[in-house]
């Protein structure tokens, strides 16, 4: 069982967006006793979703089916899939752990992740669906040079996917070693093999339904847990908070802001990265091509925002429930030499990232504990499937079909290459997940969000919204944003000091988006303004046609299958 004394782990790396976005950075983990209820429930989930993959594979005949599920996913279903793609295990385990340790301030990450969605809703969703076909590079290159823009867009996509995927694989291995009692290598291979099967055989249809099922399980489990906590306190949040304040070592301070992020520049930069990074994540942007039209894309984002917001409210209740119900129970802590004393934050079994799991045991017993453990694994599995599909699409559709073959290829050859790419990405992810087992991978996801906010989002937004954008501007601006984000992360404390061993960081902030994203926008504007080539003038003139299509949908691809 997970409460065994062998369940030890370093806690979530608090104060960093990266760890939350990708999965808890669990550090050195000691394998726990085998959790058979959790394994049984996860096997049921796997068998059920493999059956869905088999059916999806039979129905995926064209590129539209493989990349975008034929454009036939309803707005409601797609909203669940978007929510499933975005509600990572780290959001569930990490944010509840942050609330447990820091109280009110734990919501800073919930807020940052959530407020990115209005940007997607009002600026991106409809225009993306009207202008694109399978990937966001289709949109960015609509009136610009196909080769140049697809290269920078695909590069941004693959960088985001690579670093996000490595962190997810390491997080999966550590979590399953911790939750299920399986060896790390087995967990990594299992996740990699399953994501290859989902993507290579089922494509977007299978990935969508895996996300939907996982979202329903996660929302259902979190709702039950939060409901059980409130029931314990007579459905009175006031009584819950009063009990938490009385129990927590920090007392009243957990109800006040300022206890987690104290540097205002870092705080703003963190918020910028979370907000605009969301609008540049390739596996999220692909979801808008799975619906029939722009109206359905808008509805998808609207519904998904509600689901994600509701989920973050649940994590807040779960975090405070952990304070009120677990801190006074020694059975959930590693006890000191005298067998009675313990630190209420540092000594929790599994670290603070296991608050939700331990609370599941407290309110629902071993079988609910097994269910939540299985959901945590299913959550990571669903996210890596979406990432793998985004990476495979960038290789086959953007680079091979449009750059190297220049459109002179068949749908069958393109889809076959995408399936082969999924297999290759899966194998690479397994190998890198194993290699990086004992490394701090927090900075990798910081890099993923920073690149998404500093390369993908500026190129996409400027190509859609500003008439003056030219190919040279988008290409150089995207490259500057990419290089700046990577350089600043490498020079920050997470890499320069903690990984390379230097005494002090050359870049003083943990989150570079506040600096790298404006630099990308400024470069796109400056280079496009001075670009007076014949091609640049043609691209400015083509904006009117793009604008009409982006706003009306006239000429946009319709649904392929319903």
In order along its 562 residues, the chain shows pLDDT tens digits of: 333 333 323 333 333 333 343 333 444 455 656 778 778 888 888 888 888 888 888 777 778 888 877 778 899 999 999 998 888 776 788 888 889 988 888 887 778 778 888 888 888 888 888 888 888 888 898 999 989 999 999 999 998 988 888 888 887 787 777 777 778 888 889 888 988 888 888 888 888 888 899 899 999 999 999 999 999 999 999 999 999 999 999 888 888 877 777 788 888 888 898 889 988 989 888 888 888 888 898 999 999 999 999 999 999 999 999 999 999 889 888 888 887 888 888 888 877 878 998 999 999 988 898 888 888 888 888 888 888 888 999 898 888 888 888 777 888 888 889 899 999 999 999 998 888 877 656 567 767 888 899 999 999 999 999 999 999 999 999 999 999 999 998 898 878 888 788 999 999 988 899 999 999 999 999 999 999 999 999 999 999 999 999 988 887 765 544 3
- Cα separation of 366 and 352, whole Å? 19
Six-digit token string for 73: 């996913």
Residue 221's pLDDT is: 94
**194 neighbors 348 (Cβ within 8 angstroms):** no
Task: Say which CATH number the domain at 400 has.
Answer: 1.20.1730.10
The b-or-e profile of 501-538 (16+ CB within 10 A means b, else e) is: eeeebebebbbbbbbbbebbbebbbebbeebeeeebee
**Model pLDDT, residue 77:** 93
In a domain, 401, yes or no: yes
* pLDDT for the residue numbered 492: 87
b/e map of 202-215 (b: 16 or more CB within 10 Å)?
bbbbbbbbbbbbbb
**Residue indicated by tokens 């109280």:** 103
Taking the CA atoms of residue 305, residue 307, residue 311 and residue 313 in that order, the dihedral angle to the nearest 10 degrees is 70
Q: Is residue 491 part of a domain?
A: no
Q: What is the pLDDT of residue 31?
A: 60
Give the Å distances, CA to CA, from 537 to 68, 79, 525, 542: 33, 39, 15, 9
Phi, psi of 410 (to 5 degrees): -105, 160
Any domain includes 542: no
Structural domain for 350, as ranges: 36-442
Q: Is the dihedral of CA 437, 442, 443, 449 positive or negative?
A: positive
Residue in the block written with tokens 């998904």? 304
Kind plus residue range of the DSSP H or E element containing 276? helix 264-278
| DSSP-assigned states of every residue in 325-375 | HHTT-GGGB---TTSS---TTTTBTT-GGGHHHHHHHHHHHHHHHHHHHHH
Does 463 fall in a domain? Answer: no
Q: What is the pLDDT of residue 553?
A: 82
Domain count for the chain, please give it: 1
Encode 137-161: b = buried (16+ Cβ within 10 Å), e = exposed: bbbbbbbbbbebbbbbbbbbbbbbb
Strand partners, 9: 29
Q: At 85, list the tokens.
A: 């793609």
Does residue 434 lie in a domain region? Answer: yes
Q: What is the pLDDT of residue 487?
A: 93
- Residue 450 falls within a domain, yes or no? no
Asked whether residue 122 is assigned to any structural domain, the reply reads yes
Q: What pLDDT, on the 0 to 100 scale, is given for residue 441?
A: 61
531 domain residue, yes or no: no
Do 397 and 422 meet the contact criterion of CB atoms below 8 Å apart?
A: no
């Amino acid at each position: 069982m997970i409460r065994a004394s062998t369940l030890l782990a370093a806690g979530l790396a608090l104060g960093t967006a990266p760890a939350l976005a990708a999965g808890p950075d669990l550090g050195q983990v000691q394998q726990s006793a085998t959790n058979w209820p959790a394994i049984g429930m996860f096997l049921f989930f796997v068998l059920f979703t493999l059956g869905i993959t088999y059916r999806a594979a039979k129905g995926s005949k064209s590129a539209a089916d493989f990349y975008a599920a034929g454009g036939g996913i309803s707005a409601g279903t797609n909203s669940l899939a978007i929510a499933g793609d975005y509600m990572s295990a780290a959001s569930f385990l990490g944010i509840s752990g942050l609330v447990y340790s820091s109280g009110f301030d734990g919501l800073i990450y919930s807020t940052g992740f959530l407020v990115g969605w209005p940007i997607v809703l009002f600026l991106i969703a409809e225009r993306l669906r009207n202008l694109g076909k399978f990937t966001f590079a289709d949109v960015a290159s609509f009136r610009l040079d196909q080769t140049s823009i697809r290269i920078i867009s695909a590069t941004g996509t693959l960088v985001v996917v690579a670093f996000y995927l490595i962190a997810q694989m390491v997080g999966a291995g550590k979590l399953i070693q911790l939750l299920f009692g399986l060896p790390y290598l087995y967990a990594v291979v299992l996740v990699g093999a399953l994501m290859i099967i989902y993507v290579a055989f089922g494509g977007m249809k299978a990935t969508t339904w895996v996300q939907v099922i996982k979202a329903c399980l996660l929302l259902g489990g979190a709702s039950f847990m939060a409901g059980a906590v409130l029931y314990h306190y007579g459905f009175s949040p006031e009584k819950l908070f009063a009990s938490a304040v009385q129990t927590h070592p920090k007392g009243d301070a957990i109800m006040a802001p300022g206890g987690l992020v104290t540097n205002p520049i870092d705080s703003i930069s963190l918020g910028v990265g979370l907000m605009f990074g969301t609008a540049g994540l390739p596996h999220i942007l692909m979801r808008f091509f799975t619906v029939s039209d722009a109206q359905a894309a808008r509805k998808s984002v609207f519904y998904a925002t509600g689901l994600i917001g509701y989920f973050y409210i649940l994590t807040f209740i779960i975090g405070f429930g952990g304070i009120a119900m677990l801190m006074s129970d020694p059975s959930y802590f590693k006890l000191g030499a005298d067998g009675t004393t313990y630190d209420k934050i540092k000594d929790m079994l599994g670290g603070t990232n296991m608050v939700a799991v331990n609370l599941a045991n407290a309110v629902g017993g071993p079988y609910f504990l097994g269910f939540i453990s299985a959901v945590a694994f299913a959550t990571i599995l669903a996210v890596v499937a979406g990432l793998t599909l985004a990476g495979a699409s960038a290789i086959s559709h953007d680079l091979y079909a449009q750059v190297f073959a220049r459109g002179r290829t068949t749908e069958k050859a393109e889809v076959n290459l995408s399936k082969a790419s999924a297999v290759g990405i899966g194998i690479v992810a397994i190998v890198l997940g194993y290699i990086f087992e004992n490394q701090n991978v927090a900075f990798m996801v910081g890099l993923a969000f920073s690149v998404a906010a500093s390369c993908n989002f500026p190129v996409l937004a400027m190509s859609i919204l500003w008439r003056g954008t030219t190919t040279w501007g988008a290409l150089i601006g995207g490259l500057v944003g990419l290089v700046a984000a990577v350089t600043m992360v490498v020079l920050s404390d997470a890499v320069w000091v903690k990984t390379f061993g230097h005494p002090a960081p050359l870049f003083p902030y943990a989150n570079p988006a506040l600096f790298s994203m404006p630099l990308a926008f400024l470069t796109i504007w400056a280079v496009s303004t001075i670009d007076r080539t014949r091609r640049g003038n043609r691209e400015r003139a083509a904006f009117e046609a793009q604008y009409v299509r982006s706003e009306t949908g006239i000429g946009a691809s319709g649904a392929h299958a319903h």
